[in-house]
Each structure stands twice: as C-alpha cells, then as structure tokens.
Amino acid sequence: MTAENLLDFVLNEKQSIFNDIKEKISPEINLINSIKESFDEVNNSILLFNLLKFNVKINNEDLNIARKFAEKYISNIDNTHISVFNEYAISSGRLDLFIKNASFQLIIENKINADDQEAQLERYYKELLENQGNTFIIYLTRDGKEPSEKSLKSNAKEELLKENRLICLSHEDIGDFLNNDIIEKFPALTNKKYQSLYSALIQIRDNEYLISNINREKNMSKEIIKNHLEKNEDFKKEMDLNKINEYAILFDAVSEEIYNKKLDFYKHLVAKLKEKYTNIEIITDNENTYHIGFKDICNCKYFNLYIRYSFADKKRIKEDIHIYYYCEDKDNDTMYKILQNHCDGAWHDGEDGYYFGINNELKSLEVKTPENMAAKIIDIINAI
C-alpha cells in the first residue's frame, strides 16, 4: 500500500473514528470548570495541594499521591515521611507548592497565565539549596514550556535541565500522571466504597487536560485510530522501513497543512473583527506565535481583547481568546464585577492586571465559523 492510499483510507474512515470516540465517551459535568476555577492559578494550586497530600490505603496498598509523584520525576530519593505545603513561605518568596522530606526538596511553580517574576526560580533554588541541598524544581505551565530568562538565567537553566533538577511539565502531564499512575494503577478505586474519591480524581484529571487545551476526544483517539488502521491488512503487515518512512513523511506534511488551515481560520476571525473594531495591534513573538490585541474596545484605557494562537510544540495549536483588564480596586470596580460574572473569572491577580477567559463562551457555539465566532465575541463585548 502506498502512503497516498493510506491517507485516502484514513480520510474515508474519519467519520467512523469520531463515531467510535463519541460512543466511548460518557456525558460529563466538570464541576471545577463549572464554578469557573479552571484557570485560576491560586485555586488550581490549592486543588493540586489537596490532591498531593492525599494518603490512604486502598485494599492494603498505599495510595500516597505525593510519594508517587516524587518517585515519577526524581530518582534515588528516600520517599518516606513526605510533607506537602501550599504557599510555602521562604525569605525569597512563596512557593506555590512544596514537597519535601529529609532527603530532597521539590519546588512546584505553577504558571497558568502569570508571567515570571524577576529571578524568581533562581532565588528559590539558591535559598533552598543552601538550606538543605538536594533540591529540584518543577515548572508547571499549560504547554510545558521552559522558564524565561527573567526567572532563571540560561546558563543556570541549562545546567539544571542537564542534571534533571529542572523538570518542565504541562498540566496535560499532570492529567496523564493521574490517569496512568493513579487511576489505572488502582482499579479498586472503581468500587462503590471509593466512588467519591474516584469521581474527584476523574474531575481533577479532566480539568488538568482542559487547562492544557486537551479534550477527552483527543485523549482517546490514539487507540481508536490504531484499531482502525489495523483493519487495513497491508498497513498492518508492512515491515519495509522505506515505506514506513513514506507514511511518516506524508502524514507529517498533512499535519502541518491542517494546522496551517487552523491558522487561516484565526486570520479570517481577525479580519471579521476588524470590520467592527479598527484599533488593532498585531504582535508576533516569533515565527510561530501571533498575539492580536484589540485595544480600547470599551473606551477604557486598560481594557483589551486578545486573540492568541501559536504552534505550541509543532503538534497542536495553542489557542487562547481572553479579555485583559486592569483596575486598582477590584472590590469596588464595576467593570471588574461585570467581567467576572460574564466571563470565566479572573485568571491572574497581580500587579499587571486581570485576565478573563471567554473560550468557554465560544465552546457553546455548535458551528464555529469565523463569522459565528466573531459575532459571539462582539455579543460579549456589547454585553459588557
């Protein structure tokens, strides 16, 4: 079978693949997302803290989540008597999450939408290293990116990465850890006795995927696609490396074209919004990242609508549509309260302002054309 024939086969099977995915997915209510806490760093850190400190016996087997988490990412440690802390105060700042015992210290810096602070990780690491020694950092973000030069200088970052003392994780990785290392490894969790715990783990797992923009359909598609490909006997039996490489080259090219098509969608969306709003600023961070800022939509100096889309890792598009607003006193600011009620709540509460997601509002659209998306965004702005 040629690579082109396989592509035709996959395209023809597309509807069957998605039908199989939908059949396997049960209806859900994401309670965490429903109360608008999904993208709030402080509350997400509290959620992860309560998860990590969980320690119970399941059918005489220890389910110590902090221990299993530490074992997954740090080797050669004494994993007994592990303590977990949230907002742990040291002289150089507060650690979002902190796991430690007599043999190691693990800083977890949780960044969903906030920027790095000046020398933040450098300060934390240096102080803890002086206090005890065996110190590690997990830098947790939506897409698993590395900390900026502002937080950790390049030479120090390279050294820590080389020594596996700096581990860059995405919230998708946290979801995978919960799914693969906890839920699947403890089948007894499905027993009626543990149904509340099991439900909570599923909710937290799915919320972590949501933060990284990973939906359940995508998470389940790999195995289903494999099953469909195995229906094709020629592909199933293929053992010629040259032909296998042809498949890889073709599908990599197709994948790139699909994401280029997605970028075209956002360009069309921006064009539709330009018809309504003229004060638009386009910022290109690099060749793969575009930030489109709509300035002063509400005749307010500190109100902006941002549409950001980029190749996060050359495998998927990182998408984000949000409103930025700055106010000095959120408790007595009318616009802040309107935004908080109408959108997904404040993601980041800091010196540089507040971020309100509107992606969930857009998910309610059944047909997502640039025209429909633009109309929905305009509706939100008009409501504000």
Query: Domain residue spans in the chain?
Result: 31-211, 257-383
Interval 234-265: pLDDT, tens: 878 888 888 888 878 887 787 777 777 887 88
Interval 6-19: pLDDT, tens: 677 767 776 776 67
Q: Mean pLDDT over all residues of the chain?
A: 80
Per-residue HEC secondary structure of the chain comes to: CCHHHHHHHHHHHHHHHHHHHHHHCCCCCCHHHHCCCCCCHHHHHHHHHHHHCCEEEECCEEEEHHHHHHHHHCCCCCCCCCEEEEEEEECCEEEEEEEECCCCEEEEEEECCCCCCCCHHHHHHHHHHHHCCCEEEEEEECCCCCCCCCCCCHHHHHHHHHCCCEEEEEHHHHHHHHHHHHHCCCHHHHCHHHHHHHHHHHHHHHHHHHHCCCCHHHHHHHHHHHHHHCCCHHHHHCCCHHHHHHHHHHHHHHHHHHHHHHHHHHHHHHHHHHCCCCCEEEEEEECCEEEEEEECCCCCCCEEEEEEEEECCCCCEEEEEEEEECCCCHHHCHHHHHHHHHCCCECCCECCEEEEECHHHHHCCCCCCHHHHHHHHHHHHHHC
Q: Is the pLDDT of residue 21 over 70?
A: no
Q: Of 78-92, 281-295, 354-368, where does mean pLDDT reach its minimum? A: 281-295
Interval 144-154: pLDDT, tens: 888 988 888 88
